[in-house]
Amino acid sequence: MHGLLFDQGHSQLKYVNLEHHDNHVSHQTLGLSSLHLVVRRGKAFKITLLFSGGKWDPAAESLAIEVCLGNLWEVIPVWSGWSATDPLGWRAHCFPGDVLPQSVTIHLCAPVLSAVGIYSLLVCIHSSAGRQVYRAGHFVLLCNPWLKDDPVYMPLDVHKEEYVKSDFGIIYTGTHLNICKRPWSFGQYEPGVLEACLNLLQLSPQHLRDQQTDYVRRANPIYLSRVLCAMVNCNDDRGVLEGKWNGSYRGGTGPTDWAGSADILIQWATSNFSPVRYGQCWVFASVLCTVMRALGIPSRVVTVFDAAHDTNGNLIIEETYTTRGRKCERLGLSRDSIWNFHVWVECWMRRPDLGAEFDGWQVVDPTPQERSAGVFCCGPCPVLAVQRGLLRLPYDTSFVFASIDADVVRLILRRGLVLGRTVDTDLVGQLVCTKSVGSDNPENLTQAYKGRRKSPSMTVQQQLQQVGTFNRQRQPPAADPQHLPLGGLPGCTGAAPTLEVSLAVEKVPSMGEAVRLRVTVANRSARRRVLRQHLNAQLKEYDGDARQPFWQSHGQLQIMPGEVLRLKHAIAPSDYESVLTCEDIVNLAVVIKDVSTRERVLAAEEFNIEAPRISIEVQGGDGVRVRTERAVHVAFTNTLTQVLCKAELAVEGSGLLQGKCRSSAVLLQPGQVLERKVSIMAASAGTKLLMATVSHSNGHCVIARTFHRVHVTEDA
């Protein structure tokens, strides 16, 4: 880069070489930006100065480097060797081998606690004749998990490869009984992504309110994580994503249609920072993981199955059912819910504000659920604090704790009266997992969160007394279900139940197969009983909202004293194929009623169905080179029992295809094949994803979706 001369002097600077490639290799930042030099704090990077005319004379002229971030300026004299410098400040050095007749190589090092951002770089030459100042360009400074003194230091190289450098991940969704793998392209190496991440900091309310304070505080990963967490959602600011959990997604992209972060961040940056529509928890979390990795903070995406959204802080989640087993509105008892899965991010950092024992993984959750200090963000919350139940520790430990350790109280209601009540102390947070290092298989993190397990006999009130009072500002608790009226009906006195009921899906069902259920009823009384059985299956959103039932079964049976009945049922494919999509979750419930005593017992289970398979085959294998065209064959066989009307196969892939390639809508008979051939070509290296979707009825029902990983490498 040619410098800009302000004052005349003896030596003239002709060219500044920021040594992009060598610095990027040395700083583990290769591919993050084609626009800027990207380096990490606490590690020296080199710049070479080329002079015109006579050589630079260190005896007669001195060199200095000026760096600036906003209104923060630093002048760094260039020293020979490493002596006479402040180990905690900026350092600039040159060595004998770096000084040639017409060039000088300078090694510049930012303090380990420097702020993340884009810095301006100037070169100053001082001599008896005056002072020359040259604008040498810009560089981006990131956190440095390779450096022991950095608060985000991560000791193991395999962990840095997985949690900083990897641009590919697996998001686990579905239910804990049938975990679905959703590949995700974090895309931090895609053009423009790093710049979009830096714009998040520039557009944050903290920066707009007080630029200088914001720049100073950006050295702290705790501060960075809270700012960026809030900026991933748009609820309080000009953030990236707008959330939507039900209804139509017209005017945007449905959350399940996203396969990577790059498209989202680039769309946000190129639309004058308008919010991208739409996101749900795994989309919010995956985008935040991309931002954190791009800025040098080790991060991973974590799924909590059966996660509680506890709005009132009482560690109780109320669910209500009708007398026929239909899950229904909560009738004003609370706004609590159980999400089949909830996805957040763990970031790796030290916690000097809490003490070294709380260093390590911290929960940071960008899904806008509850406010923290008046803003929709959550964390960073130490995972160890959740495990120990230390609810007063910052940030938002009480909310995270409830997500994995609340009790579920299920009520059978009729006309506002409670006719039955069950408590499940084990459902919430029974599985927490993330992608394993170097593998697509899940790593079980449950014990990291729940090593301190409550005893089965411990009540919620006793547990609250044990762990202390919540430190978040919350709404007054809803009425305790234990104190709601039971309606004065026989069999609802609060005594130990004499009927025991359980419900299970016999195996993970596949689309096109019958769903086989088993209800087990045990009579613990000394008399013969006549029972009514009500079974109900209904779709539900993954965040807890139930829809209309699509299947019901009712009947009467007799059970002898001490007898255990095992009742089998089946939901035929014709009962669900027209209503279920490949992402749907089914809430199944059974209510057993004693005709004589009116005692009612409820059992519930949830399941998802395996979708039909879509095959994707890349000609010549899944490893491709940049700017090389490859053919891809995509095929789907209709394994359902019904005809698919207006069936359509769509293929898309960020960085591989321009737009979405769709087949013509057809009438697809059972056993018939729908296929399409596309041609892919990548402009940049990295892990790319092809996504194929089969829908029918004019795209209203997605019957299958699959992802295929493609590894793109540079030319040899």
Catalytic residue list: 281, 342, 365
Whether residue 578 contacts residue 538, with contact meaning beta carbons closer than 8 Å, is answered with no
Q: What is the C-alpha to C-alpha distance for residues 247 and 487, in angstroms, rounded to an integer?
A: 36
Q: Which helix (H) or strand (E) holds 695?
A: strand 686-696
Structure tokens at 668: 């697809």
Phi-psi region of 714 (alpha: psi -120 to 50; beta: other; left: phi over 0): beta
Quick one: 700 exposed, middle or buried, by C-beta within 10 A (0-12, 13-18, 19+)?
A: exposed
Tally Cβ neighbours within 10 Å of residue 435: 25
Quick one: angle between helices 261-270 and 193-202, nearest 10? Answer: 60
Structure tokens at 540: 């539900």
Amino acid at 24: H
Whether residue 228 contacts residue 201, with contact meaning beta carbons closer than 8 Å, is answered with yes
Give the strand pairing for 241-243 and 276-279: parallel
Handedness of CA 33, 35, 41, 47 (dihedral sign): positive
- Closest to 364 (Cα-Cα) out of 484, 245, 214, 230: 230
Structure tokens at 474: 């919350």
Q: What is the C-alpha to C-alpha distance for residues 242 and 257, in angstroms, rounded to an integer?
A: 15
- Mapping DSSP onto H, E and C, the string for 611-657 reads CCCEEEEECCCCEEECCCCEEEEEEEECCCCCCEEEEEEEEECCCCC
Strand partners, 516: 570
Number of C-alpha atoms within 13 angstroms, CB side, residue 540? 28
Q: What is the DSSP track for 260-310?
A: BHHHHHHHHHHTTSPPEEEE-HHHHHHHHHHHHHHTT--EEEEEEEEEEE-
